Amino acid sequence: MAEARFTFPKHFLWGAATAAHQVEGGNTNNNWHAWEQAGRVAGGHSARSACDWWGGRWREDFDRAAEAGQNAHRFSVEWSRIEPEPGRWDEAALDHYRDMARGLRERGLEPMVTLHHFTDPIWLADGGGWEVDRTEAFTAFTIKVVEALKASVRLWCTFNEPNVYVTMGYLMGVFPPGVTSPAAAATVMRNLLAAHAAAYHAIHRIQPEAQVGMAHHYRGMAPERPWFPPDRWITTYHARKFNGAFPAALHAGWLGLPLGFTRAAGARGTQDFFGLNYYSSDRVRFSPFAVRELFGRRSYPKAAEVSPTGFIANQPEGFFEALRWAQRFGLPIYVTENGIEDAADRLRPRYLAEHLRQLWLAANFNWKVRGYFHWTLVDNFEWERGWSQRFGLWELDVETQARIRRPSADFYSEICRANALSSEMVARYAPEAFADMFPNE
């Protein structure tokens, strides 16, 4: 049997990623709670108690992460808890997040805090959401959070996946506010970018040593019919708009809108690291009838190995391409999300092994890869898909709040502790991937 060991750089961060609304529970003052109550989530599901982090179970989950050898954790704060009404600050909520950040430090985990992870306070949503310029409000919120957490936190994400937030909420209409308007999407993109830039500068005024970025969702894309020019054209268009719009604005000062470009000079250079979220890659087919999808229908190859609900295809080579794309911006890279939904934990070990091998290749090329955050630590509420998908290293019984350790938790623990992926680990946890990853010849 071939033997090998893929060792990662010294001081590499290994952790998991979570988001406030998905794990806290009892969050009733934001737009997603209203969306759930309106029956807009699969199966009529709601977050309910989620993982009961607001009730204190973050402590036991952080213990699990630390005991598993993780040395970092990415979590988000909930704006609607911290500022339940415009200009009214809840100090108890800030204390809660201060305890969480301090709790991570005490357990030897580096915190990365996301300020906006898809949810908006009801007062903001009812007042026009992000179709209104929210720069002043978001900056005030940012200052309040950073002042409270700066003793424990040096890594900040302003927005999680703004491209997904815009696409799902303002083009597809499956996230709140349920709008399907390219014009509204363009306005929201400009406003998110302005708010990010202002928050970036505010953070550095308070905490000059901080590192600030966004978490960008990257989807690999290739034409379904490479010989057909419309497929090639729509693939290029989607890749530039979905993947490239926000990163290009932060890098070069130009924002690619759904139907054009605009200057975003104030945003140029407002990113200290590149946060990369990668799950899978698509084939894109031109369709004149796919108006909401901007004339491009996406799908997976017929032979692709997909997750139980068909939501994610295991395409690790696409992860390497995502890393290649991210490194061209010349910034340190943190993989801020990567994972697969798999309640039975049959595909996850292979997905994890094959993707981490691609991550090691990128690090071995001396690309500036600094850390990896697996999505996610414990099964959580998956937005418009509710509880129908399970991404956790630990299974969650939603009714009893019991956590059940999956084999992938042990696999990931060995990787974190060793700061390496070995052939012996793959042979035990993902034997079906062994021959491809460690050929004898």
Residue 414 in domain: no
pLDDT value for 169: 98
Q: Please compute the mean of the pLDDT values over residues 5-21 and round it to a whole number.
A: 98
The whole-number pLDDT of residue 258 equals: 82
- pTM of the predicted model, to two decimals? 0.98
Q: What is the mean pLDDT of residues 327-352?
A: 98
pLDDT digits 0-9 by tens, 109-127: 999 999 999 999 999 999 9
Its domain, for residue 50, covers 9-408
99's CB contacts (< 8 A; 6+ apart) are none
Q: What is the pLDDT of residue 115?
A: 99
Distances (CA, A) of 152 to 41, 78, 170, 175, 178: 35, 18, 35, 32, 37
Kindly give, in sequence order, each residue whose CB lies less than 8 Å from that of residue 20, ignoring residues fewer than 6 positions away: 27, 53, 75, 76, 77, 78, 81, 117, 119
Please check whether residue 432 lies inside any domain of the structure: no
Residue 312 is assigned to a structural domain of this protein: yes
Q: What is the pLDDT of residue 441?
A: 60
Q: Which residue has the higher pLDDT, 258 or 234?
A: 234
385-415: pLDDT as tens digits: 999 999 999 999 999 999 999 999 999 999 9
- 69 within domain boundaries: yes
Q: How far apart are alpha carbons 210 and 142 in whole angstroms? A: 13
Choose among 23, 12, 31, 28: nearest CA to 71. Answer: 12
Q: pLDDT band for 1, please (50, 70, 90 cuts).
A: low
pLDDT at 64 over 90: yes
Domain presence at residue 61: yes
Name the least confident of 85-89, 254-258, 267-271, 300-304: 254-258
Q: Per DSSP, what are the bridge partners of residue 157?
A: 114, 213
Average pLDDT, the chain: 96
Tell me if 196 is assigned to some domain. yes
We report the CATH number of the domain holding residue 120 as 3.20.20.80
DSSP assignment letter at 131:
G
Residue keyed to tokens 């703004």: 162
Contact criterion met (CB below 8 Å) for 390 and 378: no
Give residues with Cβ within 8 angstroms of 189, minimum separation 6.
Answer: 162, 166, 245, 246, 255, 257
- Domain assignment present for 2: no
- pLDDT recorded at residue 152: 98
Band of the pLDDT at 143, cuts 50, 70, 90? very high
Indicate whether 436 belongs to any domain: no
Look at the chain and report how many structural domains it folds into: 1
